[in-house]
Each structure stands twice: as C-alpha cells, then as structure tokens.
Structure 1
Amino acid sequence: MLRTASFFCATARLMAALMACMSVALPQAEAAQRGKPLPIIRDAEIEGLMRLYTRPIFKAAGINPRAVKVYILNDRSINAFVAGGQRIFINTGLIERADTPNEVIGVLAHETGHIAGGHLARMGVEIDSANYTQIAGMLLGLAAIAGGVASGNGEIAQAGQGIMAGTQGLAQRNFLTYARGMEASADQAALKFLNETRQSARGMVTLFETLARENIATLADVDPYVMSHPMPMDRIRNFEVEAKKSPYWDAKDPPALMLRHQLVQAKLAGYIGGAQAVMQKYPSTDQSMPARYARAIAMFRRGDIQNALPIIDGLIKELPENPYFWELKAQALLENGRAAEAAVPVRKALELLPSNGLILILAAQTYIDTGKPDNAGEAIKLLRQAQRTEGETPETFRLLARAYALTGDVPRAELATAQAALLMGDTKLALEKARSAQAAFKTGTPEWTRASDVISFAGR
C-alpha cells in the first residue's frame, strides 16, 4: 500500500544541502535547501525489498541494519544519496529503470560506503577548514552545474562554471578533490562489500554506463576539476577494471529476487505511472505475474474494482504466501467502501507479516471503518503496536482518535486528536482538545500528563 510522507534534509543551508547529501543532484538538493519536504513514499513491499537488498551489505560493512533507514523518493530521475547521518534516499526512477536487483544493490552498496567511511562528518570538517566566501561561491556554481546535468541543459552547466571561475582558489580545488576522492572511496567500498557478499559489481558498471550516456552531451565541455564526482567515463574505466577481477563478476541474481524486483517495478508503475502508461508497458497480452500485478493496481486505482479483484485473486492463488497480494486486496476493498470484506485479507497479510508497521496501520484502519466497537478495540491494540516501529505519527493518532470515539471513550479520543494536531502544527486545535481531555483525567495519570505535555508544547 503506497503512502506518501514528508522528510526534510538535515539542514536548510545550501552548503549542507549540497555537501551533506552525498551523491545528491537537483531537484532534491533544492528542495532541502528551501525547506520543502522531500516526496517520501511508504510501502511495505518496497521497503521490505530494500531491507533484503541492504541487510547483507550492512553486515559486510559492519553496520547495524537497524541503525540505517532507507527512504524511497517519488522522483523519476536515477539518483540515490546519503543525508542526515545514517539515512539512504533512493529515487523511484532508479528502481524502475534498473533491469536487475544487482543494479540497485550496487548503488546501495556505494551509499553504504559513504556511511561506513564517515564521509558526512569528514565533509563537515573539510567545509569548516575552507574559506566561507570561496566555498559559498563554489557551491552556487556546483548547484548550477548539477542542475544543468540533471536537466540536460549544457548552457546552465557552463554558467555554473562561470560562477565557479569567480571564486577560484586553492580551497575550492582542494575541497572538490576531496569530494571526488570520497566518491572514489565509496566505489571501492561498494566493490569490497559486494565481493564479501558474493555479488557481482556488474550492476554498478551498467548503471554508470547509463548515466554516462544520458549526460555525455551536458558534460562534454565541463571542466572535470570543478565537479564533485569523478567524470562518468573515467569512473567506468577505473571501476570496471577492478570489478572484473572479482570471482563473482558473472554472478546472477536469484530468480526469486528477480521476481520481487519486477513486482516492485510493476507496483510503482501501477501507482505512479497511470492507467495508460501501465497498459503501454504491460499490455493485456502480457500474462506474466508482474504485468497482471500492475494492471490490477491501475484498475482499482481508477475505480474498476470489478475487474481488478479477479486478477488479484489469481495472483493470491499462485503465491498465497505473498503478504503484499493480500494487502493489495484489502486496500482495494477498503478504498471502495467494503471494509467488512477487507478485514479477511488484511488478517491474512498480518499473519504473514505480523510486525510490519504499515500493515498494522492498514489493518487498524480496516477494523475502524467497519464501524463496530469490538473491532475498534482491536484497532487500538494494533495502532499501539505500530507506534513501536513507526513512531507516533499524525496518522496513527488520527486513527486512534476515531477508534476511541467508536468505543465511546471521548477523553482519549480528544487526547489523540490533540496529539495529531500538535504534530501537524495546528496548535490552536491541539490546545483546545488537550485542555478538554485533561479535564476528564485524574491529575498525575499518564493521560493527564500527556495532555499537559501537549498544552505545554502548543502554548509556546
């Protein structure tokens, strides 16, 4: 079940937006610099696949998998970057255009190299050691170059060089040399992680070649010494020589992993691409599992649940242990006002993935939408469980408010509403509901204390 969310990069300054986000290209850097939320997508299936991709890589890097979070950005460009410490961001465009899981895994291994090498912290030290005026001018030039590269506009990229020329200096050259060195270091770390996990680096080479083809015209006249990354062709040549020495160069992705990759691509097409694009990519003559998955999603998204459900049921019959097919059926029924029917497949999805926060939330919403007080009580338990993995979010508090209201517990419903409002920045509603709720609770109880906290924060 695809959900959208917002995430702000760690800092609003242009310097940090461009340099603390390793490998970042516009428009993500611009969004972070302007304080705009990045278009995060939440989905149990996609996130589960990313965990499957990263777990062995993190282990090889000596990193606790629970310490790193992978976020999916709804962006059609090929890009991934590290920001805000141990957070990896990967664009949907990269996933959609990767022919194999190995290509995505290679990128994730590269970004893990940045984390394992402590590059974000070291970059901050390098920035602090440089002259601020020179660095500021350099970053503005880099932004223009990156924007030109991302958009394929050579004039913008050359204009960036002009800006850079106005702030030429030793600090600038040293800084960029350092940045390119970190990219090369991350490439080498990725190769090491892939070798240790017996995976091929062919996917990284393939992706580098794709990027090189797309940017060759834009980069033709760009001075390599004003780039924060190695030039694409140089990067390919240097990396491929080392990658081919690996005994795992010809290793293939397992068929089961390939299927999961293709199903995720189909899901992204179904949710993001629109019905027409889905039918072009997955025509009715294509009866593969990913094609049927994409068409079923596109159908129910446009309201054609009558034709979507038989396809989903067919997918479930073929792979009954796939929790995401059950999740899809529950979502399709729920969004068409059939919550009572949706309760059956959502229970099956929960049986298969009992600790997944997003499925817990979907199940809770399904039970609440049945309108039955008994189901509301179960929804409250599921939401409390979801909050242990997903955190206390506006969505979980809004659902808790509805669930408590169904059970007749008005004070707790008002408290949950107040907590949701506070997280959304609606301090007026938060104060109103928190004060009303607090009056109903005995002084010193946990609920009274939480209401007091809301009043304190909202009143600032």
Structure 2
Amino acid sequence: MHAGRFLYRATARLMAVLMAFMSVALAQAEAQQRQKPPPLIRDAEIEGLLRLYTRPIFKAAGINPKAVKVYVLNDRQINAFVAGGQRIFINTGLLLQSDTPNEVIGVLAHETGHIAGGHLARMGVEIDSANYTKVIGMLLGLAAIAGGVAAGNGEVAQAGQGIMLGSQGLAQRNFLTYARGMEASADQAALKFLNATHQSARGMLTLFEKLARENIAVLADVDPYVLSHPMPMDRIHSLEIEAKKSPYWDAKDPPALILRHQLVQAKLTGFIGGAQAVMQKYPSADQSMPARYARAIAMFRRGDIKNALPIIDGLTKELPEDPYFWELKAQALLENGRAAEAVAPVHKALELLPGNGLIQILGAQAYIDTGSRENAQQAIKLLRQAQRSEGETVETYRLLARAYALAGDVPRAELATAEAALLMGDMKLAMEKARSAQQSFKTGTPEWTRASDVMSFAGR
C-alpha cells in the first residue's frame, strides 16, 4: 500500500497490451517483480461503490456502463489500469490510501479516457510499426525502471534507462512519445468527464501529487524521454491549469458518499489487514461507524463472534437500510458455524438489495449449511438466480451440487459436479460425473443435453 508508481502503472498496462510479444526474458523480469498475480477480490459492497463511482463517468464518455467491468485486485500498490479491452483493474492499495472518493473517481475517469480513446487497440498498431526486438528491449528497460521506482532504488531505475538507451533507437523513442501522448490524452478526457458530471478534478491532482512526492528522488536523474508517462510535476502543472478553469473545481463529495468510501476502507482493513492493522488505523477511542465496522470484522474473523455481534447489531440499528451490514452479520454467523441464524440477516440483505449475485450465493451457503432438505430448494433457487448476474462459475456449481445432494437429487448433483470439474479443467472427473448423470435423464431433455455437452468438451 505504498507505491502508486506512475511507471508501475505504465508497465502494468504495457504488459497487458503486449503479452503476445513478450520474450522469455521479459516474462522472467516480470516474475521477479511479482512472483504471482494478485488475487481478485469479490465483494458486493466494494463493487457497488465502484459502480456508483463509474456509472456517471461512463455515461459522460458515451460508454454503456454494462459494457465495462471493474475488477479489484488485492495488491498494496496504488494502481489502476486498463487491460483486455473494456476492463478496468483497481488495486486495494488505491482504495485504502485515497483520502476522498474524488481521488478514486479521478483515477477511474483517467482509465475511462483510455477506453473511450481506444488507446489499447491503437497501441497495438504502434507496436506493429516498431521493430520487434526493439520493443522487447524497451519493455525490459521499462520493467527495470519500474522495479527501481517501486523499490525506491535510483540505481536500478537508472540501470533500466541504460538498457533502453544502450540497445534501442528511434523506434522505441517514437513508441514512448506515443505512449506519453496517450497518457496526456487520457488526462484531458478525465477532465472532460469530471466536468460533465459536475465533479472536481482536485482529487485526481491530489493523488498525482502524492505519487510525485514519493517518486521525486528516484526520478530525479531519469531521462524523461525513456518514460511512458509525462514527468510527474509537469503533468500535474499542466492539469492544474486546465482543472481550475472548471466551475466545479471546488465541488465536494456528498457526505453519504464519503461515508460509503470510509466503510469500504474499513472493510478492506478488517479483512486483509487483520486485527493489528485495525488497531493501528482505528484506535479504541475511535467510535465512528467505520471504526466499529472494521473492529467487528476483525473480531469475527478471529473467532470472537461474541463481541463482534453486538457491534454489528448496533450498526444495523443505526443504519438499517444498509444491506451490507446485514450481509456482514450473515457472514459472521455462517463462518462461525451458526448457519440457521444467518438465514434471517441474509434474507434482509436481499430485501434491501434484490438481485445481487454475491449476496444470493451467500444466502445459498447459509441455506445449505442448515442441513435442511426444505432449505436446499431455497438454495437452488438462489443459485439459479445468481447465475444470471455472476454467470456459470465453479463456486455456483459446487454449491448446486451440494444443494441437489441435500435435496436427494443425485443425478443433478452429479451433473453440477461435472460442470464444476469442467470449469476447473479436471476433464477426467467431468467426463465421469457427466456420463453417470446422463444415464438418469431422458434423452433430449435439457439435463441430458448439458451432460452431453460436458462430455463433448471434456473429451477434447
């Protein structure tokens, strides 16, 4: 949660765009920086907040909000980037270290600028026009520079610059000039989108200033022409001049939005930071709603459900219309072996937020864990509803297998197991279970056809 590096962001984006062009050496360089990719975080509350942040920005950009997916990565770096078309990735580090919603919204507006401008597709054209080996050398140099910046090591950053300058020529300089122009274009687009939605660009500048202060020593001796982003202070100065022309420069985040932002930060601290991080950020004297939220999460996560529940109940009484407090209560009870008690709060959460796939899955887990055949039918209903928004996932099929087994429907339990196995890549199990299930279904029925499809794919 410390390095919101301009160069790290550039490298991440370049890596996503240029994967097909990477050599083994580049893959090794990236692997040294990051031993394994950070896991995705799925959470109804966080995703709901990000939709609230992005929906007006997407509309201002002329983009269908349903066409863009925003993913949260469990990564301490302050970073966000676009990859794989209309997909925005945002790190937990950015959410945790942002002081206001406006800071996050500004970054999301910038990334939306890349999507609206078709920058990833256009970058591919630039790559095609450059010499393959020069592009590889350029990326190796960028990776080394980014590694030096992320580690606060000026010598490593300068070494990366040397790799680029020593082995590359006009092609790589032209490419980086294009990349810097692309970043400047996204900045200008962000200003346009923020202005159209009556929001200030102050948060975006504040975040850029924060990153510039962290990187100023390392970037002091780096040639600006080997960077894929404009020099930080130059970038900020140019943006500030334009941003202050907006009539919304002094616009503030609504108090309700600030509270939601703080609650998401509290949730992340409780779940991924643990008890120690919660104590450091929210001392016992802090009785704010976010502080109590974080403490309740840390308590039930370490098994202290006795002290967690009164805090959660206090939150639900104080803000009964918040579905995520009810969701938390259900999760706390479920994870502490009290599934029957979890059913009521998850039902309340779904009343307040109907159609949310993640909460529907949580409700299905609660119903299944009660061990009741009657509740198994409720679980199946919720899981089928969840598949409309979440798609067909390993988790939903695993739970469906358990629910059908609890209901005594062995053929459908085996079919769901086969479908989960297929998604996991276990072709042997998928084939075995699908073949067994198909024998119980009448030829031509939907279940028989699905079993046939699983066997067909597994057989390949």
* TM-score category of the 2 structures, normalised to the smaller one: over 0.9
Residues 128-139 of structure 1 aligned to structure 2 (within 5 Å): 128-139=128-139
3-state SS of 1:274 partner: helix
| CA deviations over 1:74-111 (Å, ceiling 9, x no partner) | 01111000000000000001010111000000000000
Specify the alignment match of 1:311 in structure 2: 311
- Partners of 1:108 and 1:374 in 2: how far apart? 45
Query: For the Cα contact (< 8 Å) 1:14–1:33, is it kept in 2?
Result: no
Residues 426-441 of structure 1 aligned to structure 2 (within 5 Å): 426-441=426-441
- Partners of 2:17 and 2:319 in 1: how far apart? 44
Specify the alignment match of 2:4 in structure 1: none
Task: Provide structure 2 residue ranges, at least 5 long, that are not aligned to the other structure.
Answer: 1-11, 21-25
3-state SS of 1:90 partner: strand
Residue type at the aligned position of 1:74:
N
Specify the alignment match of 2:16 in structure 1: 17
Q: Offset at 1:35?
A: 11
Query: For the Cα contact (< 8 Å) 1:20–1:83, is it kept in 2?
Result: no
Specify the alignment match of 1:170 in structure 2: 170
Assess, with a 3 A threshold, how the Cα gap between structure 1 residues 112 and 356 changes in structure 2: closer, same or farther.
same
Assess, with a 3 A threshold, how the Cα gap between structure 1 residues 45 and 75 changes in structure 2: closer, same or farther.
same
3-state SS of 1:378 partner: helix
Q: Offset at 1:431?
A: 1.3
Query: For the Cα contact (< 8 Å) 1:110–1:187, is it kept in 2?
Result: yes
Specify the alignment match of 1:423 in structure 2: 423
Query: For the Cα contact (< 8 Å) 2:17–2:83, is it kept in 1?
Result: no
1:365 aligned onto 2:397: no
Specify the alignment match of 1:225 in structure 2: 225
| CA deviations over 1:252-306 (Å, ceiling 9, x no partner) | 0000000000000000000011101101111111000000000000000000000
1:263 aligned onto 2:263: yes
Q: Which moved more, 1:368-377 or 1:101-110?
A: 368-377
Assess, with a 3 A threshold, how the Cα gap between structure 1 residues 229 and 245 changes in structure 2: closer, same or farther.
same
Query: For the Cα contact (< 8 Å) 2:38–2:75, is it kept in 1?
Result: no
Query: For the Cα contact (< 8 Å) 2:267–2:293, is it kept in 1?
Result: yes
| CA deviations over 1:96-129 (Å, ceiling 9, x no partner) | 0111000000000000000000001000011011
Q: Offset at 1:14?
A: 10
Q: Which moved more, 1:351-360 or 1:435-444?
A: 435-444
1:289 aligned onto 2:281: no
Q: Offset at 1:38?
A: 3.9
- Partners of 1:30 and 1:432 in 2: how far apart? 39
Specify the alignment match of 1:387 in structure 2: 387
3-state SS of 1:72 partner: strand
- Partners of 1:63 and 1:282 in 2: how far apart? 39
Specify the alignment match of 2:400 in structure 1: 400
Residues 199-214 of structure 1 aligned to structure 2 (within 5 Å): 199-214=199-214
1:74 aligned onto 2:74: yes
Query: For the Cα contact (< 8 Å) 1:364–1:380, is it kept in 2?
Result: yes
Query: For the Cα contact (< 8 Å) 1:296–1:308, is it kept in 2?
Result: yes
Query: For the Cα contact (< 8 Å) 2:100–2:258, is it kept in 1?
Result: yes
Q: Offset at 1:428?
A: 1.6
3-state SS of 2:120 partner: helix
Q: Which moved more, 1:171-180 or 1:32-41?
A: 32-41
Specify the alignment match of 1:158 in structure 2: 158
Task: Provide structure 1 residue ranges, at least 5 long, that are not aligned to the other structure.
Answer: 1-12
Query: For the Cα contact (< 8 Å) 1:18–1:143, is it kept in 2?
Result: no
Q: Offset at 1:30?
A: 3.3
- Partners of 1:283 and 1:15 in 2: how far apart? 41
Higher relative contact order (CA 8 A, sep 6+): 2
3-state SS of 1:77 partner: coil
Q: Offset at 1:401?
A: 0.2
- Partners of 1:20 and 1:117 in 2: how far apart? 21
Q: Offset at 1:167?
A: 2.6
Q: Offset at 1:154?
A: 1.4
Specify the alignment match of 2:9 in structure 1: none
| CA deviations over 1:113-161 (Å, ceiling 9, x no partner) | 0000000100001101111111111111111111111221212211111
Residue type at the aligned position of 2:84:
G
Assess, with a 3 A threshold, how the Cα gap between structure 1 residues 32 and 385 changes in structure 2: closer, same or farther.
farther
Q: Offset at 1:374?
A: 1.0
1:236 aligned onto 2:227: no
Specify the alignment match of 1:43 in structure 2: 43
Query: For the Cα contact (< 8 Å) 1:15–1:136, is it kept in 2?
Result: no
Residue type at the aligned position of 1:75:
D
Residue type at the aligned position of 1:221:
D
| CA deviations over 1:187-244 (Å, ceiling 9, x no partner) | 0000000000000000011001110011111111111000011111111111111111
Query: For the Cα contact (< 8 Å) 1:20–1:84, is it kept in 2?
Result: no
3-state SS of 1:166 partner: helix
- Partners of 1:77 and 1:319 in 2: how far apart? 32
3-state SS of 2:89 partner: strand
- Partners of 1:72 and 1:404 in 2: how far apart? 32
Alignment: residue pair count: 443
Query: For the Cα contact (< 8 Å) 2:191–2:201, is it kept in 1?
Result: yes
| CA deviations over 1:403-430 (Å, ceiling 9, x no partner) | 0001110000001001111111111211
- Partners of 1:33 and 1:310 in 2: how far apart? 43
Specify the alignment match of 1:3 in structure 2: none
Residue type at the aligned position of 2:212:
A
3-state SS of 2:39 partner: strand
1:278 aligned onto 2:274: no
Q: Offset at 1:20?
A: 7.6
Query: For the Cα contact (< 8 Å) 1:297–1:308, is it kept in 2?
Result: yes
Q: Offset at 1:34?
A: 9.2
3-state SS of 1:70 partner: strand
Give the percent of matched residue pairs that are identical in Structure 1 and Structure 2: 85
Specify the alignment match of 1:6 in structure 2: none
Residue type at the aligned position of 2:16:
A
Residue type at the aligned position of 1:315:
L
Q: Offset at 1:17?
A: 2.8
Specify the alignment match of 2:23 in structure 1: none
Residue type at the aligned position of 2:316:
I
1:146 aligned onto 2:146: yes
Q: Offset at 1:168?
A: 2.3
Tell me the C-alpha RMSD between the 2 structures. 2.0
Specify the alignment match of 1:117 in structure 2: 117
Q: Offset at 1:36?
A: 5.1
Residue type at the aligned position of 2:372:
K
Query: For the Cα contact (< 8 Å) 1:364–1:383, is it kept in 2?
Result: yes
Residue type at the aligned position of 2:175:
F
1:446 aligned onto 2:432: no
